Amino acid sequence: KTVEKVTPTLSTSKFLEEGVLTPEEFVQAGDLLTDKCQTWTWESGDPSRNVSYLPKEKQFLLTRNVPCYSRVKTLENESNASKAEEINIEEDEEGGWIAPQSTVQDINDDDDEPDISSLKIEDKQTTTATKPAVTNNDDDEDDDGEIPDMDDFQDDNIVEEEDPAVLSKNTTTTTTTNKESKEEDNILRTRTYDISITYDKYYQTPRVWLFGYDENRKPLKPEEIFEDISEDHAHKTVTIDSHPHLGISFAYIHPCRHASVMKKLIDKQSENGKEPRVDQYLFLFLKFISVVIPTIEYDFTLEFDT
């Protein structure tokens, strides 16, 4: 399809010099990401919010339902060493942040394996402290105003055939009492995130947006989302704003330092004798973002060293 010809703010590449992207380069990098990591897709979003400097069908990148098995706190307790290092560097860099090589590697030590493999059946002790809701979770925590009595909405006329072929989460055997069936539900469910990447015209870098859901697929509140953002970044670099293509409020990672961090990573690549490629920008970028959101297990696998 024809890419709409427009005059963006930035039209000549300053990728090597400043670590920033033109909209065309963002599309290029997004194309490679969606090609190599098929969990990422291009989205067009709300048509009335389309921006003219990006193709209509490539307005932003999205990966859905990314599992997030543990809270950052648990992870940080587990790897104090790498955290300490991160803090050191943090101070060196006058409050700026950079992805320390070792930390990145700690988190995803084997880049050749798609990181899905680490998600498998193994008993993760760190998994979600929250048990699958034992009570009807509609009655709990929400501070969103009056919670209606759902019994008022109960329609007793719906009856369903008892079906021995249904393996629902609570009925691994038929005709158990409620109490027993709850105990049989031994799969812990996990939080998920939708992560999207938009092009930020002002900073000329990608901008990362997070939207989280709890174990029961209810939206996470901002303070709960902060539990999944590394402590050093949580209140410094993450804020809430309206998503430019969806119009819903999301948490986002503030892009003010993205270019300088990317510049450092690109320089490092050059020093190591690798030629930085603008179409691989997002792989590098997502690798560094994983320091900010270490427990959200999104895919950015490419055989690739900095």
Partner 1 sequence: MSTNNILQYKEFSSFVNISFWHELSSKKLDVLKLNDEPIPLNSHYTFSPSQQLDPFLCLEFNGFQQTLKQSQQHKSHASNNNNENYYNVPNRSYLVPGTLLNYNTAEDFKQSPKTKLFEDASKKIWSDIVLGFVDKDMTLLNRFILITYADIKNHQFYYLFGIPALLPPQPIQQFEETKSLLQFYNKDQIKSTFMNNPVPQYFYLVGGSENEPFEIKNFEDSLTANEEYFKAHDGSREDNIPTVGFCDPCSLPSNPGWPLRNFLIYLIVKYQIKRVRVVCFRGVSLSSSEIETNSIVLSLTLPEIDGNITPEWSGKSVGWEKDNNGKIAPRFISLASTMDPLKLASQSV
- The residues in 246-265 that bind partner 1, with binding defined as CB under 8 A, are 246-249
Dihedral, CA atoms, 290, 294, 297, 299, nearest 10 degrees?
A: 10
Q: Are 251 and 211 in contact (CB under 8 A)?
A: yes
In whole angstroms, the minimum distance from the beta carbon of 100 to partner 1 comes to 27
12 touches partner 1 by CB under 8 A: no
Using the minimum distance from each CB to partner 1, give the nearer residue, 92 or 142. Answer: 142
**Candidate list 1, 165, 273, 303; residue touching partner 1; CB under 8 A:** 165
Q: How far apart are CA 66 and CA 210, in angstroms?
A: 10
Q: How far apart are CA 29 and CA 58, in angstroms?
A: 12
Q: Which residue has the tokens 């969990």?
A: 39
| 37 among known catalytic residues | no
**Candidate list 10, 31, 44, 130; residue touching partner 1; CB under 8 A:** 44
Q: Which residues pair with 209 in a beta bridge?
A: 196, 252
Q: Rg of the chain over CA atoms, in angstroms?
A: 22
**Candidate list 181, 203, 260, 264; residue touching partner 1; CB under 8 A:** 181
Site for partner 1 in 84-113 (CB under 8 A): 113
* HSE of 263, CA atoms in CB hemisphere, 13 A: 13
Using the minimum distance from each CB to partner 1, give the nearer residue, 89 or 234. Answer: 234
**Candidate list 109, 152, 271, 305; residue touching partner 1; CB under 8 A:** 152
Q: How far apart are CA 302 and CA 262, in angstroms?
A: 17
46 touches partner 1 by CB under 8 A: yes
74 touches partner 1 by CB under 8 A: no
Using the minimum distance from each CB to partner 1, give the nearer residue, 37 or 266. Answer: 37
Dihedral, CA atoms, 101, 202, 64, 235, nearest 10 degrees?
A: 60
Using the minimum distance from each CB to partner 1, give the nearer residue, 217 or 270. Answer: 217
Neighbours of 50 (CB within 10 A): 17
**Candidate list 81, 87, 129, 240; residue touching partner 1; CB under 8 A:** 240
DSSP single-letter state for residue 105: H
170 touches partner 1 by CB under 8 A: yes
Site for partner 1 in 203-232 (CB under 8 A): 211, 213, 216-219, 221-222
**Candidate list 160, 275, 303, 305; residue touching partner 1; CB under 8 A:** 160
In whole angstroms, the minimum distance from the beta carbon of 253 to partner 1 comes to 13
- Binding footprint of partner 1, residue count (CB under 8 A): 78
| Given the residues 150, 166, 256, 270, the one annotated as active site | 256
Select from 84-92, 94-102, 132-140, 225-233 the region that touches partner 1 (CB under 8 A): 132-140
In whole angstroms, the minimum distance from the beta carbon of 181 to partner 1 comes to 6
Q: Which residue has the tokens 């690739």?
A: 304
Q: How far apart are CA 93 and CA 264, in angstroms?
A: 12
Q: Are 249 and 240 in contact (CB under 8 A)?
A: yes
Query: 99: buried, middle or exposed (CB in 10 Å: 19+, 13-18, 0-12)?
Result: buried
279 touches partner 1 by CB under 8 A: no
User: Known catalytic residues?
Assistant: 256
